[in-house]
Amino acid sequence: MEDSIWRQTADLPRFDPLDGDLKTDVLIIGGGLAGLLCAYQLDRAGVDYALVEADRLCGGVTGNTTAKVTFQHGLIYSRLLREFGPERARLYLEANREALERYRELCREIDCAFEEQDSYVYSLTDRRKLDREMEALERLGFQAEWAETPALPLPTAGAVKFPKQAQFHPLKFAAAIAKGLRIYEHTKVLELGPGTAVTNHGTVTAENIIVATHFPMLNKHGGYFLKLYQQRSYVLALENAPEVGGMYVDQGEKGLSFRNYEGFLLLGGGGSRTGKKGGGWRELEDFARRHYPQARIAARWAAQDCMTLDGVPYVGPYSKGTEGLYVVTGFNKWGMTSSMAAALVLTDLIRGKENPYGSLFAPSRSVLRPQLAANAWESAMGLLTPTAPRCPHMGCALKYNAQEHSWDCPCHGSRFGEDGRLIDNPATDDKKHL
């Protein structure tokens, strides 16, 4: 019941663990979609690489997405225009538009339920925000469309429409591109140093290392424990619910999303910062009972997303003092297009080629954003809260999540089962005493 519809309907290939020491040009740590696409692009470019995954391929966040492939990421363009200016806002649009086109090309040959769909960002009450986004897009040279939302079961102030975006089955896509790649499953990195990674099955030596572990695993470089926080969001797959004719997301942080997949309506929402109280599945179930009384819940699951300070992912050199070490993280709920954009950027950087989007995604950009203070406050409160279970990552107090029967960290988003088993990073080991 708490397995995503993608996991229930995909058969991912299996790969053996590493067997002894290995030398390669590029080591990718993490087998989610971002790491997998890096491996795929490097393989196509003829670069020597290896990917190690601590568990199974795409066993984490990738299997819990709603799988929208779009360069409409909420109402981001008015914000980017205001905070970064037109050049960088345009770069963000172009990077993600290119990512969508790469998916379009690849999926012509892959049976992964890829289909063109219009994308909508709606607002329940605030038309002015939508108008500002339309104006920003016009300044950037992209013709979005104004739309009403008659397919939704709630009144809105309208929506910004991006035509000809897409949706797909992420795990069927991953299964197809993984075939023939150099991947080692059940190979956990225990220690990471300059040019080396010690795993539970041998040591890997590499000129370049890409950390694609969702939340970066190294605390002493890059300051990611302050530059990132994590959010949980929830999904129901409803049978006997209507077709909505597109992909919809509320511009508000606590709003709902809608899309169809085959005979199901995927209803998303109920989110909150990890470790904080949110509506969860109960909020979605209440909404479904009110608006889709004939529907039946076929599956439910939850996703966890790394959020950056400014809404743009961190892709590039891990920090200024770590030569040959790269990171990809912080997709802000838009991991499908962002994973592809990141893989294209990192492949160029590793090959010594200049990428037009490298400076936009550079992790070393300014951290002087309001969210930094909020993250620092949460960390301070987590450290000072005098409760028993502590997160092994940095010592914050864990909070019990009654809906998911887990212990969650509000500081950085690590999660543990009631038995102490690690569910989500940045913690790297189980919690022995809960």
Indicate if 351 and 376 belong to the same structural domain.
no
Residue 71 has a pLDDT of 98
Q: Bridge partners of 211?
A: 29, 327
Nearest-angstrom CA–CA distance, 419 and 407: 10
State the average pLDDT over residues 84-109. 97
Q: Give yes or no for residue 6 having a pLDDT over 60.
A: yes
Residue 254 has a pLDDT of 86
pLDDT tens digits for range 37-87: 999 999 999 999 999 999 999 999 999 999 999 999 999 999 999 999 999
State the average pLDDT over residues 3-18. 96
pLDDT tens digits for range 224-264: 999 999 999 999 999 999 999 999 999 988 899 999 999 99
Nearest-angstrom CA–CA distance, 125 and 156: 6
Residue written as tokens 């009110």? 290
Domain assignment present for residue 79? The answer is no
pLDDT tens digits for range 267-295: 999 999 998 988 999 999 999 999 999 99
Instruction: State which H helix or E strand residue 7 sits in.
Output: helix 5-8
Cα 356 to its chain centre, rounded Å, is: 22
Q: Give yes or no for residue 1 having a pLDDT over 60.
A: no
Indicate if 284 and 198 belong to the same structural domain.
no
Single residue among 323, 340, 361 that ends a domain in this structure = 361
What band does 219 get if pLDDT is binned at 50, 70 and 90?
confident
Indicate if 145 and 284 belong to the same structural domain.
yes
Q: Identify the CATH number of the domain in which residue 211 sits.
A: 3.50.50.60
Indicate if 24 and 35 belong to the same structural domain.
yes
Nearest-angstrom CA–CA distance, 60 and 422: 12
Domain assignment present for residue 380? The answer is yes
Indicate if 196 and 146 belong to the same structural domain.
no
Q: Which amino acid is at 322?
A: T
Instruction: State which H helix or E strand residue 361 sits in.
Output: helix 358-361
State the average pLDDT over residues 145-164. 95
Q: Identify the CATH number of the domain in which residue 390 sits.
A: 2.102.10.10
Indicate if 184 and 288 belong to the same structural domain.
no
pLDDT > 70 fraction of the chain, expressed in percent and rounded: 99
Domain assignment present for residue 92? The answer is no
Q: Give yes or no for residue 434 having a pLDDT over 80.
A: no
Indicate if 266 and 288 belong to the same structural domain.
yes
What band does 379 get if pLDDT is binned at 50, 70 and 90?
confident
Indicate if 134 and 249 belong to the same structural domain.
yes
Residue 386 has a pLDDT of 83
Indicate if 272 and 187 belong to the same structural domain.
no
Domain assignment present for residue 105? The answer is no
Task: Return the minimum-mean-pLDDT range out of 168-182, 347-361, 384-398.
Answer: 384-398
Indicate if 237 and 298 belong to the same structural domain.
yes
Domain assignment present for residue 77? The answer is no
Single residue among 273, 293, 308 that ends a domain in this structure = 308
Q: Bridge partners of 297?
A: 238
Q: Can you give the residue range of the structural domain that contains 242?
A: 116-165+227-308
Q: Identify the CATH number of the domain in which residue 276 sits.
A: 3.30.9.10
Indicate if 256 and 399 belong to the same structural domain.
no
Nearest-angstrom CA–CA distance, 234 and 362: 30
Indicate if 292 and 231 belong to the same structural domain.
yes
Domain assignment present for residue 102? The answer is no
Nearest-angstrom CA–CA distance, 330 and 362: 12
Domain assignment present for residue 78? The answer is no
Domain count, the chain: 3
Domain assignment present for residue 39? The answer is yes
**pTM score, two decimals?**
0.95
